[in-house]
Structure 1
Amino acid sequence: MSLNIVFVTETYPPEVNGVAMTVGRLVQGLRAAGHHVMVVRPRQSGESPEKAGYELVRSLPIPGYPGLRFGLPAGGLLRRLWRQQPPDVVHVVTEGPLGWSAVNAARALKIPVTSGFHTNFDRYSVHYGLGFLRPAVAAYLRTLHRRTRATMVPTEALAADLAGEGIQGVRVVGRGVDTQLYRPEQRCEALRQRWLQGGRGPVCLYVGRLAPEKNLALVEASFAALAAVQPDARMVWVGDGPARSALAARHPTHLFTGQQVGEDLARHYASADLFLFPSLTETYGNVVAEAMASGLPVVAYRSAAAAALIVNGENGVVVAPGDEAAYVRAVLDLMAAPQSGPRLGMAARERMLSHSWSRVVQDFLAVLDEAISGQNSACARSEVMAAGPRSAL
């Protein structure tokens, strides 16, 4: 049966981040399967105000995130649209004012509504000098998810965390990876030679937002320790963000490529020798899966995607969250054994071959079907729980 599905999200391709990529893949897969999908989101820079398949809403820029915007409340608009053509289900991707107004509108019209938990915004606040707001931000996020019939998360660990905080209807819907795009055969010797400039390597790679919440100081420390024993080592940073200028000033010999996408990004992954991922604020971390699919060994904390995908010493290396000394030591030990990297990379590639987006779309649809059929009663809780945040919108 074909479904009429509405996605409500603040971020969407061509914006470059894990949430945008995930939503884009889901929408693409659902449409390919014959479902009608409408995406409600902020209008992007230079975009026509009218676009088939999209409802573009008013928005404001997000401080510290150039190019990204948060949607303003659109409850009146959504109620009018959904009275005229009621969707079978509404899926709220992001928890901003737009998401809140969508939850309110859907509940008022008795439309099943689900949500996705993609970003630990409460943890981010600590890295921007707003740690005092963390309890309030956490309460705000959890309250929204308690008002939906199901909350979809990418890992079992996150599902257990949210369930432990009293959020019912938590369902695990994993993330896929494009193993045809991200593959070892994308390795480019010409690119490596540009990086190495006559040296022998190894090449360490970081891919992601260059921002305080990503724990980039540990990348710096790990590479410094490696360069002390292997002077030809090179550090390549792929991405952009508020920390880029300071990083470049501190490390004039490091390479900063800016954002890379598609085939170019795939070549960067496959052409490196080690992927450094030290973040502790992720709910998943798509870049870990992309690196593994590319045959690149990963060193990460045992958290989020790394905890779900990596078996320590078999297809990558994970250490206890927060143990920085162990993280640096793992980098040094791995690079001291040249045969280990290729072995781990091959096993990582094998691990990712079963993580297709088609399977993720099927799992997503199963949760939607459950929400539509009313098997989960989380949506029927007292409105009193949401009185505070709702009144603010």
Structure 2
Amino acid sequence: MDTTTSTTKNIGKGPIFVTGADGDKGIAIVQQLVNLPSQHKHLPEYPVYGGLADATTTRAQTLEKIGAKVVAFDIFSEPHKATEALQGVAKLCLLIDPLNDRMTRNNVLQFGKTFIDAAKEANVNHIIFLSPFSPKDPSPLLNDDVDDDNNNNNMCLHRPSFYYQFMCIESYLLQQLDQDRVTILRYPGILHQHLMVFRHYVAEHDAFPLLDLDYTVESCNLTDIARATGYIAHSPTPRHAGDIYKITGPQLLTLHEVSQRMFSGLQRNHAVNRMDLTTLRQILYDSVRNDDHVGFLLEMWGLQQKKRRFEITRDLELLTGKSGILLKEFFEDDQVRDSFKKSNPSIA
């Protein structure tokens, strides 16, 4: 290896690799990483690599159009290629998207550990780990026939909730790498985007599906996550290494308040349909057609828990100088509003 490459890794300046780059979050992060140097002229234009499983997909072509270099391999069947892909990389954005069709409850931990091992072997200088969960979130209530166990590793084996999978990955990361090479970026439910899974129900019933008991939820927007990740990745490693940030939007709302703002943004009269968790789960499944995706969404919103503990911060403003968009502003987009309309409305 030449001196330039070795130096690059040691000082944390150089290529940036994003895992899970074919998902909505991955593409948004890659876009931000590529665009930041043009917005801030003092930033070098480091190569940005997008890691995914298939280079022939439309998402892969989108990444190339953005200006990223696509690196395709199957992390599950070809784990050794992760080490090869990370050779010479200065920073790794470890993004694990449970809404990706290839991710399940049973392989999230494997995905994370494989990339962590590869980054360690390739001597990646800085890892930015993005997690949708916080240790202060109460554990999800899963099957009653499973004995409780306070050990995270055992819980990962016996009750593979997404919460425990991510907690295990975080613990493993801090065990394998020095803390001064790691930044943890937490984000709560991406509420604005996740509401889109209800668009068919809203279009059909002209009402928001709501549980009998109301819940308060944290949220952030997709662009919030991308901006924060971009600023951290383009900064010198010592500036953020060893730190933990939580990206929250400007609002803390009950789900009833969410529905009110949603219908206000859609310019319709507010209406809700109350229901139990089983019915809500079925509505979600009818939309996403994936049991694991349904489970992840419910965990993100805290709807499988007796109570939720909140950890509100303004770290987005600390990192980027501005807060996220309001829920009402999200629905000011014509395309968003149109997606909540019936595709073939009946003619009276």
- TM-score, normalising length from structure 2? 0.40
- TM-score, normalising length from structure 1? 0.36
Larger Rg: 1
